[in-house]
Amino acid sequence: MDGDTGIIVYRLGAACDVGDVEEGKIYSGKVQGFAPFGSFVLLNDRVKGLIHKSNVKTRHNEQDSVLVRVRTIRPNGNIDLEEVTPSLYHTEVVLKKTAGVQLRDLGKYIGRMVRVEGEVAQIKQTGGPTIFTLVDGNGTVNAAAFIEAGVRAYPEVQLGDIVSIHGEVMQRNSQLQVEVSGLAVLQGEEADRVRGAIDAALTERATPVERPFLVESPVLEKLRVPMLHVAAALRKAVFLGQPILVRHHADADGICAAVAIEQAVVSLIRENGGEHDADFFLFKRSPSKAPFYEIEDITRDLDFALKDFVRYGQKLPLILLADNGSTEEDIPSLRMAAVYGLTVLVVDHHHPDTVVDPYLAGHVNPYHVGGDYGITTGMLGTEIARMVNPAVEGRILHLPAVSAVGDRSEAPERGKYLALVKDGYSEDHCKEIALALDYNQFWLRFNDGRELVKDLLDLSAHPARHAKLLAHLVEGANAAIADQLAASMPHVSPRVLENGVHLFLLDVELHAHKFTFPPPGKTSGEVHDRLIQQHPGTPVVTIGFGPDFAVLRSRGVLMNIPRMVRELRDEIRGGGVSGGGHLVVGSIKFVEGMREMVMEALIAKIARAPLAGPTGTSPSAPADTPKPL
């Protein structure tokens, strides 16, 4: 027997009785006491056997652990044992042979012993028991296993294992919980059977119900399949107990998209029977200053996620990028996410680069179906949120309208979404909310301002507070903008280019207040808005620049800024050129010593760009201008 690694030693679960013991198998036990004819051994608190003195191999004291083979089970239930001493073996747990119970049905079994099977979604060590979060495709439950205070129970169990748990169903703080009496990690065909059942149930449960969009839109209809795919992935993550991280551009459009999804996902987490505060550690919304996934963003996200994995036994998150994620600039961060096997989804309306798609599990973008940035991310995010959880529809109806006016959409869908909510939210009201969101987010920096943003978006059931907060922030934002423009407008330098474009240049480093609202990108946008009012029907390009960056806004000029950035990067050796954005609004970065060369080459490209038409009626550039730090 020595050296045989195939030997199995069984540990009898707490709920097992003599009917669960089999002759010929080896069990672990504890010496209970002694008699002249042998030693009594407990296989668990309910099952006892005897090692006849002729079958004792070593000297024992009470409570010593011992390995025994079952020789005979007598008709009266007495068990004859013999001691064995294998040097190599592995242990398996024997659970009470009872019918399994689906997690969704546990409420019917309070105070009763049950057996449940599922996947371990989280392992959290408390000061008392070890808490295993179990999912089975139809529900979620916490199972508490206790050895002694603060000591990890069943250390062999890992995240993602398929387990069978036997225990009593209890109710703790209004939450169902299984008090574990026995736990076994399933292997081979048993694990495959359970995992297959979970996957089938999850696929069915996660599939969103198809519903009409809030407004008629050919572009949205063409995007229905990828939107359903993203919604299904989000629903499946909730049902698996996987954390969800939404990274979004820190402007009104990105915020509206992310908050719509936040409302849907958080509600679904609560409906799924998560702990009272589960939505705080299973969902996180994080703003990004740039309209792409920066290395700083992914580094922070991985830092938090890996700490949560180590400290709290959480799975690594599913990442959804909203109003970013579609461009070549996202590649370094997407590659870093891939190192850790993170699933990344994108909902965006920036002009996409195909190089990102190999890194994505789902990508919703209007450009894929002949649309453009006029379909805002807020529109897309709200429609996806309705697919994730239709119950939140009434709360988020106005978010597409806010995102549309905030991002200066001129698509037909803008008017339709505004008409949908006109009785509760006028166009001016939506514009004020969008401005207040931008102003508020500037001061929040990297924080999500979860409750503040809910008040601003009128999602917190406090309409009076919404009105007061909105009025205060709009007043502050407008005052700051007026102060910035008073300082900046006198320093705008005009040019007329060969193609008839009226070009306006502003050094925002020298002629704008620093480290305050509005930041350089929005300052350039506000200046641009005044300039197109002063030059109606004229193609206008505004460039706000600093030592090592330039922000572009345009009207009536058919530019392709991402392509221009790539060309400048190849053409200007040592320029350090990078950047991107929408076709007609974006930002460019470069090394400070090459600013003059890069700027003149950029202006030369603008001078060769075709015009939109005699009246310059092309869609205005969206407001989500990249914000240089």
Q: pLDDT tens-digit profile of 287-319?
A: 998 889 999 999 999 999 999 888 888 889 999
CATH class of 8-94: mainly beta
Considering the chain, what is the average pLDDT of its residues? 91
**pLDDT at position 278, please?**
65
Segment 450-480, tens digit of pLDDT: 999 999 999 998 999 999 999 999 999 999 9
Residue range(s) of every CATH 3.90.1640.30 domain in the chain: 207-425
* Secondary structure (DSSP) of 450-465: HHHHHHHTT-SS-HHH
Beta strands, E only, 466-572: 493-496, 502-507, 540-545, 549-555
pLDDT, average across residues 137-166: 91
Q: 275 near 173, Cβ under 8 Å?
A: no
The domain 103-203 having CATH identifier 3.40.50.1000: the answer here is: no
Burial class (CB in 10 A: 0-12, 13-18, 19+), 210: exposed
Decide: helix, strand or coil at residue 367: helix
Quick check: 82 and 51 in contact, CB under 8 A?
A: yes
CA distance 10 to 13: 9
Closest by CA to 523, choosing from 470, 567, 484, 492, is 484
- The one-letter amino acid at 171: Q
Q: Is residue 245 a contact partner of residue 342, using CB atoms and an 8 Å limit?
A: no
Mean pLDDT over 153-179 rounds to 90
Residues 606 and 602: their CA atoms lie apart, in Å, by 6
| Interval 558-568: pLDDT, tens | 988 888 999 99
Give the pair of three-digit tokens for residue 408.
């200066």
In order of 254, 366, 474, the CA distances from 434 in angstroms are 11, 22, 9
Whether residue 336 is predicted with pLDDT greater than 90 in this model: the reply is yes
CATH of segment(s) 492-607: 3.10.310
The label of the residue with tokens 């869908």 reads: 413
What does the pLDDT look like over 569-592, one tens digit per residue? Answer: 999 999 999 987 777 888 899 999
Listed residue (396, 301, 380, 385) closest to 348, CA to CA: 380
Q: Distance (Å, rounded) from C-alpha 252 to C-alpha 437?
A: 6
- Give me the count of residues in the chain: 629
pLDDT score at 1: 39
For residue 10, what pLDDT band results from cuts at 50, 70 and 90? very high
pLDDT of 343-374, one tens digit each?
999 999 999 999 999 999 999 999 999 999 99
Residue 97: pLDDT above 80?
A: no
Average pLDDT for residues 620-626, to the nearest whole number?
A: 48
Q: Where in the chain is the domain with CATH 2.40.50.140?
A: 8-94, 103-203
Asked if the model's pLDDT at residue 556 lies above 50, the reply is yes
SS3 assignment, position 177:
strand
CA–CA distance, 102 with 140 (Å, rounded to integer): 10
pLDDT the model gives residue 291: 85
pLDDT for res 219: 98
Q: CATH 3.10.310 residue ranges in the chain?
A: 492-607
Higher-scoring residue by pLDDT: 39, 76: 39
Quote the pLDDT of residue 614. 52
Mean pLDDT score, 469-493: 97
Amino acid occupying residue 537: G
Give CA torsion, residues 507, 508, 514, 517, to 10 deg.
Answer: 170
CATH of domain 207-425: 3.90.1640.30
State the pLDDT at residue 53: 92
